[in-house]
Amino acid sequence: MFHKALWKKEWKHNFLVSLGLLVAFLLAYVVSAFMRFDTWRFYQEHQPDHWEHAKAFEVNSIFEPNFFGMIAVGVVILMAGFLIGLEKNTKRHDFAMALPFSRREMFLTKYAMGLAVVLIGYNLSFWLAYFAIYQSEFSQLLAEVDLTNSYWLPLAAYFVIYSFAMFIGTISGEIKSQIALTLIFLVFPQGIFVLVGQFFNVHGFDFSEVELTGWVFEDLFWFNYLNNFFFDELNIWVPVIAGLVFTVLAIVIYEKSPSEYSGEFLMFRSLHPLFAFGIPFCSALLGGLMLSSMAPHNSSDALSLILYWLGALIALFFSWKITKKLLNR
């Protein structure tokens, strides 16, 4: 299934980005842990009361992906781009497709390599941080860590985001569109409700999207799984099942994707009408939201409405022009 040649090929082109991901994870967990030790010692010596209240939060925050954890998300998306999209940008796509391997083998090798890099990087960093604390004078604090949630939920988040980025890679025709579409569609379920909600609110209808669709904002917003504030409210099976669904879809689509459109915005011409409508439509809603939110708080509804439509029309014009260029190249 995983031919040595395919491993060699993928590793050659993804070594650097894989290293980048490992560094991001190490910064997020290991370096972060070592950096906190001195702060904790300071609290212990000079602010013992504060330390008593804060120590549980402090130790748990080590095992929550911080700023570098978000950087790691970016690198995961970039890595998916390197694994699929970058090849389509270049003649390497023809070179790969002419090799004596099935498309399924090719995709699974790419997917497994990326996933292995995520798993190794994450586990190495997480457990090194754990070990560092265990070896320090703060080892008793580990009893305060909800290890199940702290370990599994962020891992599930990285898994679903990676699988989703790979899935988008099978639809998009090159790395730029892959990364852009991944970022857009990662927040699309929430974004579309916010945009539609603002449309209704500006037009005098009461629409509270968060109340109506709380599960979309909670369970399907994958970044929540990286934030220990939400850990107790989340179900790990949602990202796991979603990740598996994206993976299966990606395998099927990669096998069927027509190579003649590699290098273009999308691999499938049949998706053009959907994007030709969807991009300007969503952009118009976004333009409307942005401009209407600039209206003074005490202004009339009419001004908000005028600003909304002005923003919508400006965004519609530019997005229509850009979409035409993107889809007709």
Partner 1 sequence: MIEVRNVTKTIHKTEVLNDVQFNVRPGTITGVVGRNGAGKTTLLRMISGIIKPDQGDISVEGENVFQQPRVKQDIVFVPDSTDALKTYTVKEIVKFYKVVYPNFDEEYYYSLLDQFKFNKSGKIKKMSKGQKALFSLILAFSTNAKYILLDEPTDGLDVIIKKEILQFIAEQVAHKDVSIIISSHRLDELEKMADHIVVLKDGSVDSEVEMETLKEQYKKVQVAYQGEFPQDVLQNLEVLSQNGRVGVVLLDSDDEDGEAILQNYDPILYEELPLSLEDIFVAKLGGDLYVS
CB of 145 to partner 1, least distance (A): 43
CA atoms within 13 A on the CB side of 175: 14
CB 122 within 8 A of CB 69: no
Is residue 116 a contact residue for partner 1 (CB under 8 A)?
Answer: no
CB of 103 to partner 1, least distance (A): 8
Number of Cβ atoms within 10 Å of the Cβ of 279: 18
Site string for partner 1, 151-180 (x = CB under 8 A): ------------------------------
Give the residue with the Cβ less far from partner 1, 57 or 95. 95
Interface with partner 1: number of residues (CB under 8 A): 24
**Which one of the spans 58-66, 94-102, 168-176, 185-193 is the region binding partner 1 (CB under 8 A)?**
94-102
Helix, strand or coil, per DSSP, at residue 207: coil
Q: Rounded to an integer, what distance in angstroms lies between the CA atom of residue 313 and that of residue 84?
A: 35
CB 33 within 8 A of CB 61: no
Among the listed residues 95, 134, 200, 237, the single contact to partner 1 using CB under 8 A: 95
Q: Rounded to an integer, what distance in angstroms lies between the CA atom of residue 300 and that of residue 280?
A: 28
Give the residue with the Cβ less far from partner 1, 191 or 263. 263
- Which residues ranging from 231 to 250 are in contact with partner 1 (CB under 8 A)? none
Is residue 91 a contact residue for partner 1 (CB under 8 A)?
Answer: yes
Q: Rounded to an integer, what distance in angstroms lies between the CA atom of residue 176 and that of residue 211?
A: 35
Is residue 90 a contact residue for partner 1 (CB under 8 A)?
Answer: yes
Is residue 19 a contact residue for partner 1 (CB under 8 A)?
Answer: no
CB 64 within 8 A of CB 226: yes
Is residue 300 a contact residue for partner 1 (CB under 8 A)?
Answer: no
Is residue 101 a contact residue for partner 1 (CB under 8 A)?
Answer: yes
Q: Which two tokens stand for residue 73?
A: 């998300």
Q: Rounded to an integer, what distance in angstroms lies between the CA atom of residue 296 and that of residue 300?
A: 9
Nearest to 171 by CA among 278, 104, 105, 88: 88
CB of 35 to partner 1, least distance (A): 37
Rounded alpha-carbon distances, angstroms, from residue 68 to 32, 65, 150, 185: 9, 7, 16, 22
Among the listed residues 50, 53, 94, 273, the single contact to partner 1 using CB under 8 A: 94
- Which residues ranging from 30 to 89 are in contact with partner 1 (CB under 8 A)? none
Among the listed residues 49, 260, 296, 298, the single contact to partner 1 using CB under 8 A: 260
Rounded alpha-carbon distances, angstroms, from residue 108 to 75, 214, 235, 246: 20, 35, 27, 13
Binding site for partner 1 (CB under 8 A): 3-5, 8-9, 12-13, 90-92, 94-95, 97-103, 258-261, 269
